[in-house]
Amino acid sequence: MSSTEAPAGGNQNRGPHLVGIFWAEAAVASLVILLRISGRLMIRQLGLDDYMMVFTLLLFVILASFTTHLAIIGGCRHLFYLSPQQQLQAVKYNWISQPWGIFGFATGKISVALLILRIMGPNTIWRKWILYGCMASVLVINAIGSILTFVQCNPPRALWTPTIHAHCWNPKVQSDYAIFLSSWNVFIDVVLAMLPISILWPLTLSLRKKISLSVLLGLGLLAAICGSIKIKYLAGLTARSDLTWETYNLYVWSASELFVIMTCGSIPPIKSLYDHFFGSKKHHRTGYTPYNDSDRSRELKFNSKVKETPRRLSEGVELEPL
Q: What is the C-alpha separation between 24 and 67, in angstroms, rounded?
A: 13
Distance of CA 255 to the CA centre of its chain: 9
pTM for the structure as a whole: 0.82
Q: Which residues of the chain have pLDDT under 50?
A: 281-316, 318-322
Per-residue pLDDT tens over the stretch 139-152: 999 999 999 988 99
Residue 208's CB is within 10 A of a number of other CB atoms, namely 9
Give the pLDDT score at 240.
Answer: 63
- CA–CA distances in Å: residue 62 to residues 23, 41, 98, 229, 298: 11, 26, 11, 23, 41
Strand-pair partners of 154: 167
Nearest to 227 by CA among 138, 147, 97: 138
Please give the biggest Cα pair distance in the chain: 76
Residue 191's CB is within 10 A of a number of other CB atoms, namely 18
Nearest to 113 by CA among 98, 89, 135, 129: 135
Q: What is the C-alpha separation between 245 and 248, in angstroms, rounded?
A: 6
Per-residue pLDDT tens over the stretch 265-279: 998 888 777 777 776
Nearest to 195 by CA among 152, 237, 282, 135: 135
Q: What is the C-alpha separation between 1 and 74, in angstroms, rounded?
A: 15
Per-residue pLDDT tens over the stretch 34-62: 999 998 988 888 899 999 999 999 999 99
Q: What is the C-alpha separation between 257 and 315, in angstroms, rounded?
A: 26
Distance of CA 303 to the CA centre of its chain: 32
Indicate the burial class of 20 (C-beta count within 10 angstroms; 0-12, 13-18, 19 or more).
exposed
With both helix axes pointing from N to C terminus, report the angle between 84-119 and 171-200 in degrees, rounded to the nearest 10.
Answer: 20
15-319 in CATH: which number?
1.20.1070
